[in-house]
Structure 1
Amino acid sequence: MRILLAPMEGLLDFRLRDNLTRVGGYDECVSEFIRVNDTLLPSHRFYRYVPELYQNSRTKSGIPVKVQLLGSDINCMAENASKVASLGAYGIDINFGCPARTVNRNRGGAALLKEPNLMYSIVKAVRNVVPKEIPVTAKMRLGYDTTEHALVCAKALEEGGAKEIVVHARTKVDGYKPPAYWEWISKITEHIKIPVVANGEIWSVTDAIRCQRISGCKDIMIGRGAVANPALALMIRSEKNQKLPWNEVKMILFAYWKNLEFDMNLTSRAGRIKQWLHYLTRQYQEAENDFKSVKRFKSGDEFTNYFESHIN
């Protein structure tokens, strides 16, 4: 079994990748998407999203990170994939799953699930320019507003040259509303020959086991579940429900808070901490009290003092 750490736009970035991979249990990470429009991006844009490129495309704990690109311009996607490969990327992942309206309105992410021929052309163009030793993968959903073309889209990615695909078991219209339709992933695994990674609604060890059984996939990707429970990957590996003690989680939160201060304004930093705490309330009752306290804070000192005074 391989466990991949998913990106989450606006929260699960390189800082949180560092924190979660330090806890352990992951085989691979995927970066937040880097939007490609109609130009070749400068190197600093890739380094900003994926500073692990400075470290052989690995987190500080040694876990490899794929760089994810999002866009619909075939030539520009290929040019930028070639560029990021030259910077030492461990792998290139292509986003065909983002459900955000702003992304979809600009013909990106899940909107391309309505154009399987374009999906094929993008993957093929990227595969043609990226060195063979660098894997090209893709992430998709079951469709835009219906699962009608799920098998066609998966086949297009395979024929385009993707080494494996991650399937989020919902359509774009489903968003993140439960349930996830893991049984549909099993149809995809039977339809294509490349490896498939199951994703969506994995919050616990029980969820992971059920997902593997229903989807037919041994490999899984977790995102929101990992944010809600930093030890989830380790728990899935051991099949034991042993969460980290809350005080240890709070120390991780404090380390994350301190990492944010180097290049993020106070409002954004506060938003990240509140967002993460909100996810943690799903698994930790103690997080409820902390969330109620910090959501009223307005200064950086309030956050710092609160963490320092509440960590045993």
Structure 2
Amino acid sequence: MQIALAPMEGLVDNILRDVLTRVGGIDWCVTEFIRVCDRLLPPSQFDKLAPELRLGARTAAGVPMRLQLLGSDPVCLAENAALACELGAPVIDLNFGCPAKTVNKSRGGAVLLKEPELLHAIVREVRRAVPAHIPVTAKMRLGFDTPDGALDCATALAEGGAAHLVVHARTKVEGYKPPAHWEWVARVQDVVKVPVFANGEIWTVDDWRRCREVSGAEDIMLGRGLVSRPDLGLQIAAAREGRDYQPLDWQALLPLLREFWRQAQAKLSPRYAPGRMKQWVAMLTRSYPEAVLLFAELRRESDCQRISELLGVVETRCEAVA
């Protein structure tokens, strides 16, 4: 069984990847997508969204990181994938699942699920361009507005050369609204010969059990569920192995929040760092009553020093580091 941390634009950046992988239970993670349009990107663009490349493509905790590209031009994607490999990317992942309107309007993400032939061409060209030992993988949704073409899309990706597929079990139009249609993950696995990861609406161990029963998938990718419950991977692994496990409580989580805040201040300006802190605490309110109280205090706060005090941090930095 493999448990992966999902790529989520504007949420799971290198800071949160670092903090979440420190908890444990995650086998690998994926960068936010790097958008490829019509040119070869400079190395600085890869470094910006995937600074772990400097650490051997691993987080500080040693968890492997994969690099994700998004675009619609097979040749341009292939050229950028080759450069990413030169920079140290151990796996190239292709995004065919992003539901954002701005991304879809520019022919990126889930809108490409309307064009199975293009999916095949993209994976084929990227597979040809990168070294044979570096896997090319793909993340997809069930379709744009209907899952009717999901099997064709999955087949196109697998036959194009994808080493495995991650299936977010909803369409683009459904966004993140429950439920996730895990039965379609099973249908995808029936038509492809590569491993299939189930993704979507796994918030608890019970959700994982239901997902495994319905989808038949042993491998999973966790997104918002892990952000909201940082030790969900450990909980699932323990349940699968029949081990007792004491979930992470709020006191154990606080040092991670403080570390996140420290890194956010170092990376972001005082204007934006508070928003990132509030974003994560807001998601934690789903699992921790203490987070509800903290978020109520943070909600209208923009002063770095005051936020540090609320988090129990002795020292703070309110100047961005270049």
2:319 alignment partner in structure 1? none
Q: Which residue of 2 aligns with 1:297?
A: 301
Which has the larger displacement, 253-262 or 235-244? 235-244
Q: Distance in 1 between matches of 2:162 and 2:42?
A: 25
One of 230, 238, 261 as aligned partner of 1:257: 261
Cα distance in structure 2, aligned partners of 1:266 and 1:225: 28
Query: What is the Cα deviation at residue 118 of structure 1?
Result: 0.4
Look up the match of 1:65.
65
Residue type matched to 1:242 in 2?
Q
1:41 and 1:169 mapped to 2: Cα distance?
31
State the AA in 2 paired with 1:120: H
The residue type paired with residue 260 of structure 1 is A
**Cα displacement (A) at 1:212:** 1.3
Which residues in structure 2 correspond to 1:42-61 (within 5 Å)? 42-61=42-61
1:280 has 2:284 as partner: yes
1:268 aligns with 2:260: no
Asked if 1 retains the 8 angstrom alpha-carbon contact of 2:85 and 2:130, the reply is: yes
How many aligned positions are there? Answer: 310
- C-alpha distance in 2, partners of 1:47/1:258? 20
Aligned to 2:3: 3
Q: Distance in 2 between matches of 1:266 and 1:116?
A: 44
**1:187 aligns to what?**
187
CA contact (8 A) 1:182 1:211 kept: yes
Deviation beyond 6 Å, 4+ runs, structure 1: none
Report sequence identity in percent: 53
Q: Which runs of no fewer than 5 residues in structure 2 stay unpaired?
A: 315-322
Which residue of 1 is the match for residue 14 of structure 2?
A: 14
SS of residue in 1 equivalent to 2:267: coil
Contact 2:258–2:313 (Cα < 8 Å) also in 1: no
Report 1:83-162 matches (<5 A): 83-162=83-162
RMSD over equivalenced CA pairs, Å: 1.1
Residue number in structure 1 paired with 2:249: 245
TM-score, scaled relative to structure 2: 0.94
Q: Greater shift after overlay, 94-103 or 45-54? A: 45-54
> CA deviation digits over 1:243-271, x for unaligned, max 9?
21102212211110110112212232111
Matched with 1:165 is 165
Asked if the contact 2:167/2:197 (under 8 Å) is kept, the reply is: yes
The DSSP-based 3-state class of the residue aligned with 1:148 is helix
SS in 1 for 2:166: strand
2:147 aligned counterpart, secondary structure: coil
Whether the aligned pair in 2 keeps the contact of 1:3 and 1:26 (CA below 8 Å) is: yes
CA deviations over 1:36-70 (Å, ceiling 9, x no partner):
00010000110111111111111111111110000
**Which residue matches 2:218?**
218
Distance 2:81 2:295 in 1: 40
Q: Letter of the 2:76 partner, please give it.
A: C
Instruction: Tell me, in whole angstroms, the C-alpha distance in 2 between the residues paired with 1:10 and 1:81.
Output: 22
Q: Distance in 1 between matches of 2:213 and 2:14?
A: 31
Distance 1:33 1:272 in 2: 18
**Alpha-carbon distance in 2 for matches of 1:309, 1:186:** 47
Quote the Cα distance in structure 1 between the aligned partners of 2:13 and 2:202: 19
Q: Judge conservation of contact 1:145–1:172 (CA < 8 Å) in 2.
A: yes
In structure 1, C-alpha distance between the alignment counterparts of 2:97 and 2:152, rounded to whole Å: 15
The aligned counterpart of 2:317 is none
How big is the shift at 1:179? Answer: 0.3
SS of the aligned residue for 1:104 comes to helix
Alpha-carbon contact 1:228-1:280 (below 8 Å) kept: yes
Task: List gaps (5 residues or longer) in structure 1.
Answer: none
CA–CA distance in structure 2, aligned partners of residues 303 and 175 of structure 1? 32
Partner of 2:318: none
- Give the partner amino acid of 1:61: A
Question: How far is the alpha carbon of 1:309 from its aligned partner?
Answer: 6.5
